[in-house]
Structure 1
């Protein structure tokens, strides 16, 4: 695998990032993706409880821990981290057990969402390069 991966996060309820309601992490020079987790029922809301990025000379890795029990590891040459606000993203999330698919999408970050960018951060091997 050599390419890019995008990780889209809903930041409602995030304790560490309160200035925005959505985040996008783009991993450049993608070389590995690993997921371990078992869904609980038809829908599972995977809540991030652990974020461990590591940057080395020519690589970048993030290990993301979720509740319920799950872990995602991505490895690449660098990453960009964007945070911003999507319209309707400040409303409380719907009940994942009873809401319809349309209700879940409303106010949640989607790949097609418009966003007002609040901040952007890049690794030394950022996406502006050849990653």
Structure 2
């Protein structure tokens, strides 16, 4: 079994799976109500990975996690209204993918008040079944990451790739 980290670094080999009917790299708002758990940016390899919690997704009935990777990174922009908090569960309210001859871009609007934009030469999206993740999301209220970590898919989670999509350049 591979880990989500293996998919991000490319150490998982060929992780492609059946294609999507509702492709998040091409369909606007395909990621609506998906939770954004973590972002990893690796300057050495020019890639960014967005780790997603799919248990609340509107469009997908299978999978409890997903990884969106952008390679040939051109930009990574994050903004939010600073709030005092230990944890804040960001949910995607809108996803806007776009592609051109220059590459791909994904714009994510987040609730309660965040924006994430990432662009690069190519993108991959993998819908995953992460091992050991409970069916329900944890309660984030007045808790720390160490308190809820066991209830989340994470980079070291073993996983099975259920579906895959790629955007130009991959």
How does the TM-score come out when normalised to structure 1? 0.87
Aligned positions of 1:48-127 closer than 5 A:
48-99=92-143, 101-126=145-170
Within 1, Cα distance between the matches of 2:131 and 2:66? 13
1:37 maps to 2:80 = yes
Report the Cα offset of residue 90 of structure 1: 4.1
Distance in 2, matches of 1:71 and 1:5, equals: 16
Query: 1: distance between equivalents of 2:111 and 2:102?
Result: 31
CA distance in 1 between counterparts of 2:82 and 2:157 reads 26
Matched residue, 2:33: none
**SS of 1:106 mapped into structure 2:** helix
| Runs of at least 5 residues in structure 2 that lack an aligned partner in the other structure | 1-42
C-alpha contact (below 8 Å) 1:3/1:30 kept by paired residues: yes
Q: Residue 63 of structure 2 is aligned with which of 20, 23, 34?
A: 20
Cα distance, 1:99 vs structure 2: 4.3
Q: 1:5 matched to which residue of 2?
A: 48
CA shift digits 1:17-49 (9 cap, x unpaired)? 221110101101101111110243221111111
Deviation at 1:106, TM superposition (A): 1.1
Q: Helix, strand or coil: the match of 2:158?
A: coil
Give the deviation of 1:88 after TM superposition: 3.0
Greater than 6 Å deviation, 4+ residue runs: none
| TM-score, with structure 2 as normaliser | 0.69
Q: What is the rounded CA distance, in whole Å, between the counterparts of 1:39 and 1:105 in structure 2?
A: 23
Q: What CA RMSD, in Å, does the superposition of the two structures yield over aligned residues?
A: 1.7
Say if 1:32 and 1:114 are closer, same or farther in 2 by CA, change over 3 A: same
Question: Matched residues in 1 for 2:113 and 2:143: separation?
Answer: 23
What number of residue pairs does the alignment pair up?
A: 126
Contact 1:58 1:125 in 2 (8 A): no
Deviation at 1:69, TM superposition (A): 1.1
